[in-house]
Amino acid sequence: MKLRNVRLTLANVARTTNSKTMEVTNVGTIKTRQEDGTYSNEISNYTVDCAAYRGDVLKVKFPLDVAEKIAKLKNHLENDELVEISFKGLKLTPYAMKANDGSVLSGVSAKADDFEIHVKEWDIDEDIEL
């Protein structure tokens, strides 16, 4: 079977198979690549790093029209809030490629059309003395 025919869902990459959201750990930008190979200051896409299965990180790419939500998400993270997102139009694609040293690099690329922000309460055990 070819990798392009493999269909993945959120259950394949989330921490638990019944999860509808993923915890956000970071947000970032992707700059536009120019013809000479350098990068300009123009933003081409946004990225959101999510905590995935077994401590891995899934970097999800979003279009420019979610800029306002990215700003809100970044604000929540800067205030040390526990934030999860649910995706709209999530597409997960497995990949594998041969590196220059002959080893195989593999993983899952992710992109989505939009997302919803879910701010969670920290689960603090009040019985613990500091």
Separation CA 84–CA 86 (nearest Å): 7
Look at the chain and report how many structural domains it folds into: 1
Q: What is the pLDDT of residues 43-74, one digit of tens each?
A: 999 999 999 999 999 999 999 999 999 999 99
In a domain, 94, yes or no: yes
For residue 1, what pLDDT is reported?
79
In a domain, 46, yes or no: yes
Q: pTM for the complete prediction? A: 0.85
Q: What is the pLDDT of residues 112-121, one digit of tens each?
A: 999 999 998 8
In a domain, 129, yes or no: no
CATH number at residue 26: 2.40.50
In a domain, 66, yes or no: yes
In a domain, 128, yes or no: no
Category of 80 on φ-ψ map: left (φ > 0), alpha (ψ -120 to 50) or beta: left
Domain, as residue range, for 84: 3-120
In a domain, 130, yes or no: no
In a domain, 33, yes or no: yes
